[in-house]
Structure 1
């Protein structure tokens, strides 16, 4: 018999809390599946769609089920990208909700992508079903849909109904028209093409390669969401999907193979074997009901961003760093940011529409806010020219370009003080948020403020020696400060150089191995060569910090994120008093 102990109960509750990380995604996925199934059977079994099913069969339920899924996901797709709303909720939940629940908001962009994938799947199903439906409507004029003679006769009669109460939207036989022509005769067909083309362009330009290398393409094509939503609202306005309105007088299950007459009350009619002609009406459009609320929220969000973009930002200083990196130090009235938060930067003189995300590298304690920008594209290169980065001399503020700032916005790094131990993992330029975080932690530490955090690890994976040159001054400052205060154990930073050294540098490193400072960085702690051995690092953390909560914060690629997430789960203990790793990833 299983022995129930306090440790077992706490461990079970802890596992439930960890599973909660994926609970919202599970609820969303279950809602998609359930809503599709319920809608399918609603249309598949409803009596007022009997005649429509007679023509097009079960694809009616498939088309309507996928349409229901599209409505659900189109309602949700805009909410995760309302950055001000997400930041507001994150700040509010900090006061009233557990950390595991609040961390759901950190995955808002991932959730946005999941919803986009669901929209693509439902769109493909919806298009396939309706292509089949149009073919069936067209074939029904020649009674090619089924082999049964009575059913053929009924389908032909339904297609020939040409009053306002018609059922078949195609008024011609296949001899005089075709599927493509009929599609472009309807609002649903034209709007469907607009929806599909917009979706294809949005999704294909959202790949990581396009986002990283051609951000402008990603930015502009994403604004095709405007015609996408307009076409979605108009898609059902014509009422192509029609249902029977007079099932009380004309029971389709009894009357489908009987004679229909328009005036059943005429004197020469025999009511025993005749039924009134069925009447049909189009479904009223419902997509607008789903997307109107989120669209209002989103446009309020954009109004807030527009207001912020008009606030004056003063460029106080421009600093040129190695490795094609430059720093902008700025001020704006009322600007307050937490450690590691990010802002969107616009330079109207370069582009009136483009906003680019950058992590703040200044600490909340600084009297300015700053971003470090690497010159890797047309926009960043143009901004460097506008800011006179290459002139190497002080420029007056009035010579600086107009800069607009939207933000700041919250990130997982706001939770750094919730843990006894923090582990920061950065890849290349991904170290930028930790510049702000480390400065803020050090300010609080030097001020002897009471805080839960007792130990900080920084693991920085650099592709070459140039990658860490601009960060070197900050780390050297920490080195000096820790030596002066006699507290060299508070910050343990580990720099890993993966490539970029030649034989001469390697020889120099070997000769200076016994020196007090590292030969590559000039820092107290030695540089490692190669990639971190995470399978050895995590056990050492477990051994060094038993019974503690460890926050792991990553700013880096997805492959590394997946690996670290698995290691956090593997090395977390379910026992009472065991070490627990909490994984956090920052994404844009």
Structure 2
């Protein structure tokens, strides 16, 4: 009756059951935290590999879910057409249609049809809003469509219970009929049909139970984890530094971990991840977050802090949660590359080196930080200077190797005063009516010369940009200034230097930055591992 459509729909249904079960595993944050505490000491490499690949694993399973969801839906639309066209009058109980030629759209208005179409729309909505273009521009659409996973799971359990597909029941009478065929005794047999039993609950039982327990644990714990904003400071590059109180006495955090932050004045559903920059200690029960103002939620937080003040905001904390960046402090040699606010996972590592300069691990750290403006280096300038001096006093100066790159083109130009005599003025030579030569000054140059507020070189710079361009970090932090370079890193030379410095070593490269940088460094690690004796494992962290 149904032909190939039945085979396709049944096969893709099994794939969807597997995908719906696996897609929940990376989202069990508390479960991953327990795994970290139990397995990080036994097999830390395997666990951090899972953390680093968890996002990629979730995306791969989700893409598979979308593709096979569409194929499954199309096959069922074909089945509806075949139910209507191939109505079986001999066995009416196996038919979904009430009569031959019934409209397939009428057959779609059923429990199976309504739940199937609803799940298809939810999956397509999640998939479209998960694309990088939509997620970066309209993050709220991505966030709220993903909250539809709860009705999706409910519909997934209801969908196969409708009993559209039937199977024949083999009872004792039918089995005796098969035996009597051999003895040429014919006994009339009337086959019986029943709905195919759903196996979805078997696939979903364990992962859904783990996910629900993890979600309930997080809900009850984070609702009690209210914190106070102790201090707010605005750093260069439109970045906010929040100093928060610990939510409870048992709150502890490791270098590289992150927390989820909610502000009820902005949204009661949105939780945004931020890496803990300064972890709490026994003497100081507070932790610090750096928040780059980029997006509607962070812009709203900045506005609320200015209008209401930090003491009038309700902030909840969920976490901390494990991150692949925790492996830095366990490496003999760690290579860390950051761009912009991506420096946050490595700040806590610098603090750990400052507090424990004689620890064996991490043995040596190569940190490269790429920023747009030189003033942004002040985020860690004081901390880095103290760490360098502390390592020198501890006779471990080779433990930390820092490189800073400023990419802004206007800052890259050398600052020099150009006087009026050195200024180049554009002239145009023309003939007047009497045939004499006349020099005419260009309008732009005339306007420049007649404007007293402009500098002699004719450049008009806004005050806020002027502060960034005129700032020289070497004057205040000489140890940072001597490690500053203009432009972008020459990656072939950088990777060649590491390959020459650490031959036949297996190194971990930790990266936190934009997508283009991640893609470039990943390819460089593969190339270096293939054509040199130094093997590089690429590990990166990204929340967006």
> Is TM > 0.5 for Structure 1 vs Structure 2?
yes
1:546 to partner: Cα distance: 3.2
| 1:313-360, Cα deviation, whole Å (9 max, x unpaired) | 122211121221111111222221111211000112221111111111
Number of the residue aligned with 2:210: 297
CA distance in 1, matches of 2:135, 2:353: 32
Are residue 343 (structure 1) and residue 259 (structure 2) matched? yes
8 Å CA contact retained: 2:350, 2:383 = no
8 Å CA contact retained: 2:353, 2:387 = no
RMSD across aligned C-alpha pairs, in angstroms? 3.0
Number of the residue aligned with 1:69: 15
Number of the residue aligned with 1:534: 491
Of 420-429 and 563-572, deviating more is: 563-572
CA distance in 2, matches of 1:277, 1:572: 69
User: Cα 1:115–1:495, aligned 2, differ >3 Å: closer, same or farther?
Assistant: same
CA distance in 1, matches of 2:363, 2:416: 36
User: Cα 1:551–1:520, aligned 2, differ >3 Å: closer, same or farther?
Assistant: farther
1:488 to partner: Cα distance: 4.4
* Corresponding residue SS for 2:289: strand
| 1:89-123, Cα deviation, whole Å (9 max, x unpaired) | 12321122251454223211211111111111221
| 1:428-450, Cα deviation, whole Å (9 max, x unpaired) | 211111112221122211xx23x
1:233 to partner: Cα distance: 0.5
* Corresponding residue SS for 1:234: helix
* Corresponding residue SS for 2:365: strand
| 1:6-40, Cα deviation, whole Å (9 max, x unpaired) | xxxxxxxxxxxxxxxxxxxxxxxxxxxxxxxxxxx
Number of the residue aligned with 1:320: 234
Are residue 190 (structure 1) and residue 117 (structure 2) matched? no
Number of the residue aligned with 1:107: 53
CA distance in 1, matches of 2:42, 2:395: 39
User: Cα 1:342–1:500, aligned 2, differ >3 Å: closer, same or farther?
Assistant: farther
Are residue 137 (structure 1) and residue 83 (structure 2) matched? yes
CA distance in 2, matches of 1:561, 1:520: 32
| 1:73-93, Cα deviation, whole Å (9 max, x unpaired) | 111111111111112212321
Number of the residue aligned with 1:181: 106
1:64 to partner: Cα distance: 0.6
Q: What TM-score, normalized by structure 2, do the two folds share?
A: 0.80
1:521 to partner: Cα distance: 7.8
8 Å CA contact retained: 1:315, 1:328 = yes
User: Cα 1:475–1:213, aligned 2, differ >3 Å: closer, same or farther?
Assistant: farther
CA distance in 2, matches of 1:307, 1:169: 46
8 Å CA contact retained: 1:308, 1:405 = no
* Corresponding residue SS for 1:422: strand
CA distance in 2, matches of 1:247, 1:572: 63
8 Å CA contact retained: 1:520, 1:527 = no
* Corresponding residue SS for 2:356: helix
Q: Which of 297, 315, 330 is the aligned partner of 1:379?
A: 297
Q: In the TM superposition, what are the counterparts of 1:503-514 in structure 2 within 5 Å?
A: 505-507=413-415
Are residue 457 (structure 1) and residue 366 (structure 2) matched? yes
Number of the residue aligned with 1:44: none
Q: Which of 291, 296, 311 is the aligned partner of 2:225?
A: 311
| 1:484-514, Cα deviation, whole Å (9 max, x unpaired) | 66754332222223334257x43359xxxxx
CA distance in 2, matches of 1:552, 1:198: 38
CA distance in 2, matches of 1:282, 1:336: 53
CA distance in 2, matches of 1:466, 1:190: 58
Q: How many residues get paired?
A: 477
8 Å CA contact retained: 1:521, 1:527 = no
User: Cα 1:550–1:171, aligned 2, differ >3 Å: closer, same or farther?
Assistant: same
CA distance in 2, matches of 1:508, 1:470: 27
Q: In the TM superposition, what are the counterparts of 1:216-295 in structure 2 within 5 Å?
A: 216-246=140-170, 275-295=188-208
Number of the residue aligned with 2:323: 411
Q: Which of 308, 323, 336 is the aligned partner of 1:424?
A: 336
8 Å CA contact retained: 1:429, 1:467 = no
User: Cα 1:178–1:571, aligned 2, differ >3 Å: closer, same or farther?
Assistant: same
Unmatched 5+ stretches in structure 1: 1-54, 142-154, 255-269, 510-515
8 Å CA contact retained: 1:508, 1:519 = no
CA distance in 1, matches of 2:157, 2:321: 31
8 Å CA contact retained: 2:36, 2:322 = yes
User: Cα 1:275–1:566, aligned 2, differ >3 Å: closer, same or farther?
Assistant: farther
Are residue 205 (structure 1) and residue 160 (structure 2) matched? no
| 1:202-260, Cα deviation, whole Å (9 max, x unpaired) | 11111223333333222211111111111111101111111112487569x99xxxxxx
User: Cα 1:78–1:508, aligned 2, differ >3 Å: closer, same or farther?
Assistant: farther
Number of the residue aligned with 2:517: 560
| 1:259-306, Cα deviation, whole Å (9 max, x unpaired) | xxxxxxxxxxx985x843332111122223322332222222122222
CA distance in 1, matches of 2:280, 2:534: 30
Q: Which of 35, 41, 45 is the aligned partner of 1:95?
A: 41
8 Å CA contact retained: 1:70, 1:123 = yes
Number of the residue aligned with 1:6: none
* Corresponding residue SS for 2:228: strand
User: Cα 1:540–1:419, aligned 2, differ >3 Å: closer, same or farther?
Assistant: same
* Corresponding residue SS for 2:404: strand
Unmatched 5+ stretches in structure 2: 179-183, 418-471
Are residue 157 (structure 1) and residue 90 (structure 2) matched? yes
Number of the residue aligned with 2:436: none
CA distance in 2, matches of 1:482, 1:461: 23
User: Cα 1:342–1:462, aligned 2, differ >3 Å: closer, same or farther?
Assistant: same
1:587 to partner: Cα distance: 2.5
User: Cα 1:116–1:180, aligned 2, differ >3 Å: closer, same or farther?
Assistant: same
Q: What TM-score, normalized by structure 1, do the two folds share?
A: 0.74
User: Cα 1:242–1:467, aligned 2, differ >3 Å: closer, same or farther?
Assistant: farther
